[in-house]
């Protein structure tokens, strides 16, 4: 079974641009969540999608958005990039997002904003 | 709101020795789960072990075990017979529903960098 796939692995953008990151979950998994990891703030939850609906949202500005498609693949978008958006963005999937479920993580997208 | 605290930014251990990583948390829930994840240099987070709060027995997975003390809200990870491949950043994590409709949000501690020396 293929793992969680995130593309691209690395991305360099300039301030003011927008970016779209992609995540393909493990086959059969319907819950996809996104996390931002920075040295200063650590791992912070962005949002979670299940069956194309956002079920949970973290404390990030509206510039951060996401969506999930009918095949459970998910994308997150960051508009009007700021220097502080430079981070490793991790995607994780699980069958249904239950509290006892193990999350399977991708290897992340490293975003650098110049 | 749930909080998770790891007070040891870095730890080191010699190969084959035992090391314990600390984690404390705060929650008003009575039934919950706790997790330890590791993040090696490859960056991919991997589940190490899971504990159910209503179970008295501490979870074990091969060389990994936890010391779960519910009253003290403490959840430490013990790694026995440390191996070079255990070198990674370790995160304690707590699933919460963030006011939403599921438990798909994990609150992570700040992480502990563990280095295993030969």
B35, B50, B98 ranked by CB distance to A56: nearest: B98
CA dihedral (A18, A24, A30, A36) positive or negative: negative
Pair A91, A74: CB distance under 8 Å:
yes
Q: How far is CA B72 from CA B23, B29, B90, in A?
A: 11, 14, 21
To the nearest whole Å, the CA of B110 is away from the closest chain A CA by 6
Tell me the C-alpha distance between B102 and B104, whole Å: 6
Structure confidence by residue, pLDDT tens digits, A48-102: 999 999 988 899 999 999 999 999 999 999 999 999 999 999 999 999 887 788 8
A-B contacts (CB, under 8 Å): 77
Residue B99 has pLDDT above 70, yes or no: no
Q: Is A98 on the interface with B (CB under 8 A)?
A: yes
Distance CA A51, CA A65 (A): 16
Q: Is the pLDDT of residue A23 over 60?
A: yes
B25: number of CA atoms within 13 Å, CB side?
30
For residue B53, what pLDDT band results from cuts at 50, 70 and 90? Answer: confident
Verify whether the Cβ–Cβ distance B44 to A98 is below 8 Å: no
């Amino acid at each position: 079974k293929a793992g969680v796939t995130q593309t691209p692995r690395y991305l360099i953008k300039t301030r003011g641009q927008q970016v779209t990151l992609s995540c393909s979950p493990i086959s059969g998994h319907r819950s996809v969540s996104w996390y931002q990891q920075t040295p200063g703030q650590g791992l912070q939850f962005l949002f979670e999608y299940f069956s194309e609906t956002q079920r949970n949202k973290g404390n990030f500005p509206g510039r951060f958005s996401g969506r999930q498609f009918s095949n459970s693949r998910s994308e997150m978008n960051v508009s009007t990039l700021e220097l502080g958006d430079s981070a490793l963005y991790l995607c994780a999937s699980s069958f249904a997002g239950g509290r006892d479920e193990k999350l399977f993580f991708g290897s992340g997208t490293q975003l650098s904003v110049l | 709101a749930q909080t998770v605290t790891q007070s040891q930014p870095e730890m080191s251990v010699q190969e084959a020795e035992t090391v314990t990583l600390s984690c404390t948390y705060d929650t008003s829930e009575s039934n919950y789960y706790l997790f330890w994840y590791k993040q090696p240099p490859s960056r991919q987070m991997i589940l190490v072990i899971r504990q159910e709060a209503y179970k008295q027995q501490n979870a074990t997975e091969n060389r990994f075990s936890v010391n779960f003390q519910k009253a003290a809200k403490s959840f430490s990870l013990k790694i026995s017979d440390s191996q070079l491949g255990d070198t990674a950043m370790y995160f304690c994590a707590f699933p919460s529903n963030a006011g939403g409709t599921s438990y798909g949000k994990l609150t992570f501690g700040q992480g502990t960098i563990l280095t295993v020396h030969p």
